């Protein structure tokens, strides 16, 4: 909501500089996001009135104009090339010496033999917009000679409010004025309407009815006859523009003006176009359609509240009027609508139609029900003033006038205890009364009646907030709650995430975050064919599914890094979503991807070192092309390689295997040992021996090394340190590390163990010694 | 005997000083200190001396032996030091192959640690939530304008479920089995159905927390938030409390931090206001207390919440929130 200070000042004189006022409002909950203080821009640009326009004697496209630019004195001769210049227009004239928006200084000049003493300006030349097709035509009410800054109210201070949805009262200039008056203690002048009625009563022209009380509670209509449709006077246009509303025509502008001023949306119908001269608030019926003022046509969902005439919907209630019943250049008699609709009904309709307007926005929040009549009167008054209409006597009205507010029982002691401060009763009462609340009874049992415009205040806590916010929380002492709580411990699953994160980072992996959703391409490339959880409203097709695996997006991220990198190691900890029947299993998962030489062994090494660090016995096995670790029967981790199609699609290096790992934290957390058990180590020296041998190339090596490790307990480690393939056979080189707990090993101890290993290799696996 | 010993000592010292390599030192050791060496031959001569002279001569011989051994070790150190290659201390260091922590999770961790130190237990809830826990139970009824504050992802075939729009869900989840008084904090991923640009993401991280006790006051909330902010920054910072509306608190407020970039003068980051909105907070709404299963007449509480990603951006000085989910090493490698 934007509000020019000059308009606010019609309701209250704040007595503060704009910046101080903005600060006060912000600190008390009516946030000023931006203070737009405009300064004079146009020195030497004034309002002019075009007297005559004749064709230039020496140029087809130029015109010679006589323009009055002062209350007294002779008109100036100005040569103008704009196609739209015409006698009687009020225009902006840059006098000789004036500087226009692009920096040009206007000078007296002879244009094709005619002396020109200034320039009639377009929007673009004034820097007010991009329109340069013709000159800017101003409201006819402006006085020639007036500086343009003043005429267009350009040296205005405009408050840009960031309002919260509960404060519907502040979505109006009057409401903001009232709030400022309460905060500053200054006098508040509420809006009044001064309606001069004439002609036959309004009831003779139109009837109104509310067919469904769940849609609206009150409907007030006024009739203004004999209006002349045209442009609004400049003061009205200026105010709308300062509030960010585009002026349209005098009747439409008046409805917008009253909405901005009082917060009550107003609609204007062309009386002549209302079938049966009646207005009925009712739900839309099956098959009804409407073309709205913005030109869009809608099939109306059944039940959407409409304002219908005798035959068809004339407006979608509280949202937008219909084109057929709307104001046109030929409109003579106008019906003004001011009504209280049911906020939820309007909100549902607005969502069903996908239409949000300034009016629906306000109706959803619930404008002050007591303003309905005033708004109708104000609109009628202004129509008479700016469009020359005659206001018909009386209003046509149905529905209940607003009922009295529900009383809130408030104890001052509870109020003060909630805030944590001492508040004298008189002070709290004074604050509430300035805000328009009525307070009766004793401070132990105050009865608080909120004003009609504060539909958001219903509970004692709401009243507490009103007192607290005006006192300004920044003046309160800062205390800490008393503590009598048990010690804080991390849930084991959360702690394990920390452990994983630390382990991977220490192991040289970078922690990434990726989007928790992916698209069809990711699913296809990684064979994720199971059913996925799908958002109803994904932001894009490649975010159509909630992830079941962290791998697709992590692999994609590796691909993005690939052009500049030979080695990429990424990991992520996050949630996955797997549908199970009518529910969804949400799991915390670790994903890791490695692009590096020997990627599978690199990643396997990290996984197994991690399990070991937590004292977890994980059993590895190969199933379905994956290396799987299980812990107590549950799958704890899976290691595989990126499918070739994905390698290609994500532009990974095609000749190199990219390894991926997924770890599931729940089974690991159950077995994790926070305090790793110490195992005593031997103080005797270690001895190493190397052994190289050939195996058939199709022999998996895992069982081989496992068998070798079981040969003798003196073998503390068996490490594969070299591997290469020649034709149909592969060479493996193992390094044995031997050590005893009880003494120094002799050469024959060592040879004995190595020979037994050699025997197992030859007899069980048909290994051939490599010389 | 004494003069012979002195001669031997001079000879041995002179010989030692000319040696430049280890092999020479070994030969010298054999010659003077070996089993058949010069010192050993003197030991044999001791027996031939009169009994009265023997102790003094023996002591002199032992002193010489010790001195020569010491000189040999010293010389060995000199010789091997001379054999050391020259070191160019100006060579550049080698690149460390190390991992890096994501700046957002690092900040989450830091924030969590502060709340834990203030007595808040950590809760971890689901990202896929029931509408009731995300909205209705937090006093955000269906068809209420306050739902507009958080654009929401809904899920096919899962009516009544959403991707949580905030971690305030903890107020209903963490308390389901807990008995007051209690304090909880939840940190995690949330989702908003919002078009993505440099300052908007469809998913980001939040921290929410709350405390419930019999006598909790709004001033406790002000003090707690101030303590949190000052612990996070490790210094006094200027904050401002500004009343604000959140459906699940009443009264509700925001904590603004004086802009840490311009010191409150006004800059592009604080949109010329001098303030940065950091935390939303308030006294827990009685309807929410009731949904926690508590009697609002006997218990009071406060709650607070903050977005973490934008704060990480501010602290590290990056301007595009989308970097967070890019997995780009040029981004990730710049942090811890």
Distance CA A48, CA A140 (A): 10
Top-confidence residue, B46 or A370:
A370
Task: Provide the pLDDT for residue B40.
Answer: 83
Alpha carbon of B119: minimum distance to chain A alpha carbons (Å): 6
pLDDT per residue as tens digits for the range A146-182: 888 888 877 789 999 999 989 999 999 999 999 999 9
| Interface with A, mutate which of B97, B200, B251 (most A CBs under 10 A) | B251
Residue B94: strand, helix, or coil: coil
User: A413 at the B interface (CB within 8 A)?
Assistant: no
Average pLDDT, chain A: 92
- Nearest by CB to A480, from B163, B218, B223: name it: B223
Chain A segment 594-653 residues within 8 A of B by beta carbon are: none
Helices (H) and strands (E) in chain A, counts: 21, 39
- Does A482 sit within 8 Å of B245, measured CB to CB? no
Distance CA A527, CA A507 (A): 29
Question: Is A370 in contact with A452 (CB distance < 8 Å)?
Answer: yes
- Does B219 sit within 8 Å of A31, measured CB to CB? no
Distance CA A689, CA A686 (A): 10
| Interface with A, mutate which of B147, B318, B327, B333 (most A CBs under 10 A) | B327
Distance CA A751, CA A755 (A): 6
Task: Provide the pLDDT for residue A39.
Answer: 67
- Does B116 sit within 8 Å of A535, measured CB to CB? no
Closest by Cα among A119, A83, A81 to A100: A119
Cβ contacts of A488 on chain B, cutoff 8 Å: 116, 119-122
DSSP one-letter code for B190: E
Cα R_g (chain A), whole angstroms: 41
From A68-82, A195-209, A268-282, the region with the lowest mean pLDDT: A68-82
Flag whether pLDDT at B303 surpasses 90.
yes
Q: In terms of CA atoms, which chain A residue is nearest residue B144?
A: A344
Flag whether pLDDT at A352 surpasses 70.
yes
Residue A68: strand, helix, or coil: strand
Q: ipTM score of the complex?
A: 0.85
Q: In terms of CA atoms, which chain B residue is nearest residue A586?
A: B126
Residue A40 confidence class, pLDDT cut points 50, 70, 90:
low
Mean pLDDT (whole number) for B233-250 = 94
Mean pLDDT (whole number) for A121-135 = 78
Residue A708, Ramachandran bin (φ over 0: left; ψ between -120 and 50: alpha; else beta): alpha
Question: Is A554 in contact with A512 (CB distance < 8 Å)?
Answer: yes
Cβ contacts of A463 on chain B, cutoff 8 Å: none
Note the pTM of the prediction, 2 decimals. 0.85
Residue A440: strand, helix, or coil: strand
Alpha carbon of B152: minimum distance to chain A alpha carbons (Å): 9
Burial code of B287-299, b = ≥16 C-beta within 10 A, e = fewer? bbbebbebebeeb
- Does B217 sit within 8 Å of A478, measured CB to CB? no
Distance CA A548, CA A279 (A): 56
Mean pLDDT (whole number) for B272-291 = 95
Task: Provide the pLDDT for residue A400.
Answer: 80
Residue A676 confidence class, pLDDT cut points 50, 70, 90:
confident
- Does B153 sit within 8 Å of A536, measured CB to CB? yes
Say how many residues make up chain B: 336
- Nearest by CB to A419, from B102, B183, B218: name it: B218
The owner of tokens 């001098």 is B274
From A251-255, A302-306, A454-458, B38-42, the region with the lowest mean pLDDT: B38-42
pLDDT per residue as tens digits for the range A591-607: 999 999 999 999 999 99
Burial code of A654-680, b = ≥16 C-beta within 10 A, e = fewer? eeebbbbbbbbbebbbebbeeeeeeee
Cβ contacts of A318 on chain B, cutoff 8 Å: none
pLDDT per residue as tens digits for the range A488-501: 889 989 999 999 99
Cβ contacts of A489 on chain B, cutoff 8 Å: 121
Closest by Cα among B168, B260, B155 to B207: B168
Closest by Cα among A556, A546, A554, A551 to A518: A546
Cis peptide before B251 (omega within 30 of 0): yes
- Nearest by CB to B218, from A420, A494, A582: name it: A420
Positive or negative, the Cα torsion across A569, A575, A580, A581?
Answer: negative
Closest by Cα among B109, B150, B143 to B246: B150
Chain A segment 348-377 residues within 8 A of B by beta carbon are: 348, 364-365
Task: Provide the pLDDT for residue A718.
Answer: 96
Alpha carbon of A558: minimum distance to chain B alpha carbons (Å): 8
Question: Is A556 in contact with A540 (CB distance < 8 Å)?
Answer: no
What proportion of chain A, given as a percentage, has pLDDT over 90? 78
Mean pLDDT (whole number) for A698-712 = 94
- Does A459 sit within 8 Å of B286, measured CB to CB? yes
| Interface with A, mutate which of B99, B157, B169, B212 (most A CBs under 10 A) | B99
Alpha carbon of A111: minimum distance to chain B alpha carbons (Å): 46
Flag whether pLDDT at A128 surpasses 80.
no
Flag whether pLDDT at B80 surpasses 80.
yes
Q: Where are the beta strands (DSSP E) in A133-256?
A: 137-138, 157-162, 207-210, 216-225
Cβ contacts of A354 on chain B, cutoff 8 Å: none
Alpha carbon of A758: minimum distance to chain B alpha carbons (Å): 38
Cβ contacts of A588 on chain B, cutoff 8 Å: 124
Q: Which residues make Cβ contacts (< 8 Å) with residue A412, sequence separation at least 6?
A: A423, A425, A428, A443, A444, A446
Task: Provide the pLDDT for residue A130.
Answer: 66
Residue A666: strand, helix, or coil: helix
Alpha carbon of A545: minimum distance to chain B alpha carbons (Å): 10
Residue A436, Ramachandran bin (φ over 0: left; ψ between -120 and 50: alpha; else beta): left
Alpha carbon of A57: minimum distance to chain B alpha carbons (Å): 54
Residue A654 confidence class, pLDDT cut points 50, 70, 90:
low
From A68-72, A131-135, A277-281, A546-550, the region with the lowest mean pLDDT: A131-135
User: A462 at the B interface (CB within 8 A)?
Assistant: yes
Flag whether pLDDT at B145 surpasses 80.
no
Alpha carbon of A224: minimum distance to chain B alpha carbons (Å): 34
Torsion of CA A384, A389, A395, A399, to 10 degrees: -90
Q: Which residues make Cβ contacts (< 8 Å) with residue B25, sequence separation at least 6?
A: B16, B19, B72, B75, B76, B79
Task: Provide the pLDDT for residue A123.
Answer: 82
- Does A420 sit within 8 Å of B327, measured CB to CB? no
From A304-313, A699-708, B57-66, B216-225, the region with the lowest mean pLDDT: B57-66
- Does A485 sit within 8 Å of B155, measured CB to CB? no
Task: Provide the pLDDT for residue A323.
Answer: 94
Distance CA A102, CA B89 (A): 62
Distance CA A286, CA A489 (A): 60
Q: In terms of CA atoms, which chain A residue is nearest residue B121?
A: A488
The owner of tokens 């950590």 is B122
Residue B321 confidence class, pLDDT cut points 50, 70, 90:
very high
Cβ contacts below 8 Å, chain A against chain B, sum to 231
- Does A507 sit within 8 Å of B333, measured CB to CB? no
Residue A135: strand, helix, or coil: strand
DSSP H or E segment with residue B240: strand B239-243
- Nearest by CB to B218, from A164, A468, A536: name it: A468
DSSP one-letter code for A536: S
User: A491 at the B interface (CB within 8 A)?
Assistant: yes
Average pLDDT, chain B: 91
From A250-254, A279-283, A668-672, the region with the lowest mean pLDDT: A668-672
Flag whether pLDDT at B61 surpasses 90.
no
Task: Provide the pLDDT for residue A484.
Answer: 76
Q: In terms of CA atoms, which chain A residue is nearest residue B252?
A: A465
Residues linked to residue A580 through DSSP beta bridges, in sequence order: A583
Backbone angles phi, psi at A717, to 5 degrees: -155, 140
Alpha carbon of B174: minimum distance to chain A alpha carbons (Å): 12
Question: Is A376 in contact with A336 (CB distance < 8 Å)?
Answer: yes
């Amino acid at each position: 909501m934007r509000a020019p200070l000059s308009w606010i000042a019609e309701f209250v004189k704040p007595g503060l500089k704009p910046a101080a006022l903005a600060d006060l409002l912000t600190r008390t909950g009516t946030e000023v996001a931006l203070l737009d203080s405009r300064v004079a821009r146009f020195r030497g640009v004034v309002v002019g009135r075009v007297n005559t326009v004749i064709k230039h004697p020496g140029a087809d496209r130029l015109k010679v104009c006589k323009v009055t630019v002062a209350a007294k004195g002779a008109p100036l001769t100005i040569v103008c090339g704009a196609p739209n210049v015409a006698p009687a227009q009020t225009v902006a004239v840059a006098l000789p010496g004036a500087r226009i928006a692009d920096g040009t200084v206007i000078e007296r000049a002879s244009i094709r033999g005619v002396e020109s003493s200034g320039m009639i300006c377009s929007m673009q030349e004034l820097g007010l917009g991009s329109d340069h097709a013709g000159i800017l035509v101003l409201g006819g009410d402006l006085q020639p000679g007036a500086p343009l800054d003043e005429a267009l109210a350009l040296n205005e201070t405009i408050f840009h409010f960031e309002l919260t949805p509960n404060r519907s009262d502040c979505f109006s200039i009057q409401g903001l004025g009232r709030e400022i008056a309460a905060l500053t203690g200054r006098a508040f002048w509420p809006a009044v309407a001064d309606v001069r009625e004439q002609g036959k009563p309004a009831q003779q022209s139109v009837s109104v009815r509310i067919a469904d009380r769940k849609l609206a509670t009150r409907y007030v209509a006024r009739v203004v006859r004999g209006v002349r449709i045209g442009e609004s006077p400049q003061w009205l246009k200026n105010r709308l523009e300062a509030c960010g509303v585009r002026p349209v025509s005098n009747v439409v502008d008046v409805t917008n003006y009253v909405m901005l001023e009082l917060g009550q949306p107003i609609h204007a119908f062309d009386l002549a176009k209302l079938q049966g001269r009646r207005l009925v608030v009712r739900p839309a019926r099956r098959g009804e359609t409407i073309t709205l003022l913005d030109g869009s046509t809608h099939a109306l969902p059944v039940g959407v509240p409409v304002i219908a005439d005798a035959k068809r919907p004339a407006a979608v209630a509280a949202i937008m009027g219909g084109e057929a019943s709307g104001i046109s250049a030929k409109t003579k008699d106008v019906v003004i609508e001011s009504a209280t609709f049911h906020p939820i009904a309007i909100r549902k309709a607005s969502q069903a139609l996908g239409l949000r307007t300034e009016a629906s926005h306000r109706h959803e929040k619930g404008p002050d029900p007591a303003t309905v009549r005033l708004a109708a009167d104000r609109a009628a008054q202004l129509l008479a003033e700016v469009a020359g209409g005659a206001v018909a006597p009386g209003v046509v009205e149905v529905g209940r006038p607003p009922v009295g507010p529900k009383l809130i029982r408030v104890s001052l002691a509870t109020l003060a205890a909630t805030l944590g401060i001492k508040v004298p009763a008189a002070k709290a009462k004074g604050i509430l009364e300035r805000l328009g609340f009525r307070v009766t009874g004793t401070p132990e049992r105050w009865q608080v009646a909120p004003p009609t415009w504060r539909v958001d205040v219903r509970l004692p806590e709401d009243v507490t907030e009103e007192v607290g916010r005006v006192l300004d929380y920044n003046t309160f002492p800062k205390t800490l709650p008393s503590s009598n709580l048990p010690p804080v411990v991390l849930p084991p699953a959360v702690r394990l995430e920390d452990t994983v994160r630390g382990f991977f980072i220490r192991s040289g992996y970078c922690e990434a975050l990726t989007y928790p959703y992916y698209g069809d391409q990711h699913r296809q490339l990684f064979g994720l064919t199971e059913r996925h959880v799908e958002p109803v409203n994904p932001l894009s097709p490649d975010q159509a599914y909630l992830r079941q695996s962290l791998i697709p997006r992590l692999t994609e991220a590796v691909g993005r890094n690939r052009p500049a990198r030979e080695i990429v190691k990424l990991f992520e900890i996050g949630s996955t979503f797997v549908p199970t029947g009518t529910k969804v299993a949400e799991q915390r998962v670790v994903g890791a991807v490695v692009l590096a030489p020997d990627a599978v062994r690199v990643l396997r090494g990290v996984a197994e070192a991690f399990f070991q660090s937590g004292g977890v016995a994980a059993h590895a096995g190969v199933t379905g092309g994956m290396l799987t670790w299980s812990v107590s029967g549950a799958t704890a981790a899976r290691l595989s390689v990126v499918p070739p199609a994905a390698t290609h699609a994500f532009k990974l290096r095609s000749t190199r295997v990219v390894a991926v790992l997924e770890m599931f934290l729940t089974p690991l957390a159950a077995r994790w040992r926070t305090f790793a058990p110490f195992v005593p180590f031997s103080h005797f020296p270690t001895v190493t021996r190397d052994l190289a041998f050939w195996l058939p190339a199709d022999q998996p090596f895992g069982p081989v090394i496992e068998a070798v490790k079981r040969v003798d307990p003196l073998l503390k480690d068996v490490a594969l340190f070299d591997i290469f393939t020649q034709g149909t056979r592969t060479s493996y080189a193992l390094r044995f590390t031997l050590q005893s707990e009880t003494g120094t090993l002799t050469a024959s101890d060592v040879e004995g163990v190595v020979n037994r290993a050699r025997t197992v290799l030859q007899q069980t696996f048909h290994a051939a010694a490599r010389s | 005997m004494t003069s012979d010993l002195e001669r031997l000592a001079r000879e041995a010292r002179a010989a030692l000083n000319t040696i430049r390599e280890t092999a020479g030192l070994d030969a010298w050791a054999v010659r003077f200190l070996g089993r058949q060496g010069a010192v050993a031959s003197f030991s044999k001569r001791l027996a031939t001396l009169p009994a009265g002279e023997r102790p003094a001569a023996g002591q002199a011989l032992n002193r010489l032996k010790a001195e020569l051994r010491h000189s040999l070790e010293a010389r060995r150190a000199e010789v091997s030091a001379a054999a050391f290659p020259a070191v160019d201390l100006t060579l550049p260091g080698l690149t460390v192959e190390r991992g890096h922590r994501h700046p957002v999770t690092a900040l989450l961790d830091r924030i969590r640690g502060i709340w834990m130190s203030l007595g808040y237990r950590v809760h971890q809830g689901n990202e896929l939530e029931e509408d009731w826990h995300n909205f209705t139970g937090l006093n955000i009824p269906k068809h209420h304008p306050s739902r507009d504050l958080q654009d929401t992802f809904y899920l096919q075939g899962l009516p009544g479920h959403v991707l949580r729009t905030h971690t305030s869900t903890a107020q209903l989840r963490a308390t389901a089995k807990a008995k007051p008084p209690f304090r909880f904090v939840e940190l995690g991923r949330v989702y908003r159905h919002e078009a993505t640009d440099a300052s908007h993401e469809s998913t980001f991280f939040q921290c929410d927390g709350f405390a419930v006790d019999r006598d909790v006051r709004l001033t406790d909330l002000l003090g707690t938030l101030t303590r949190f902010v000052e612990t996070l920054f490790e210094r006094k910072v200027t904050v401002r409390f500004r009343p604000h509306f959140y459906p699940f608190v009443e009264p509700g407020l925001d904590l603004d931090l004086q802009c840490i970039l311009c010191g409150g003068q006004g800059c592009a980051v604080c949109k010329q206001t001098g303030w940065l909105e950091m935390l939303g907070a308030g006294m827990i709404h009685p309807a929410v207390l009731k949904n926690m299963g508590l009697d609002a007449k006997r218990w009071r509480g406060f709650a607070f919440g903050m977005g973490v990603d934008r704060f990480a951006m501010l602290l590290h000085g990056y301007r595009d929130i989308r970097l967070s989910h890019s997995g780009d090493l040029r981004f990730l490698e710049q942090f811890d």
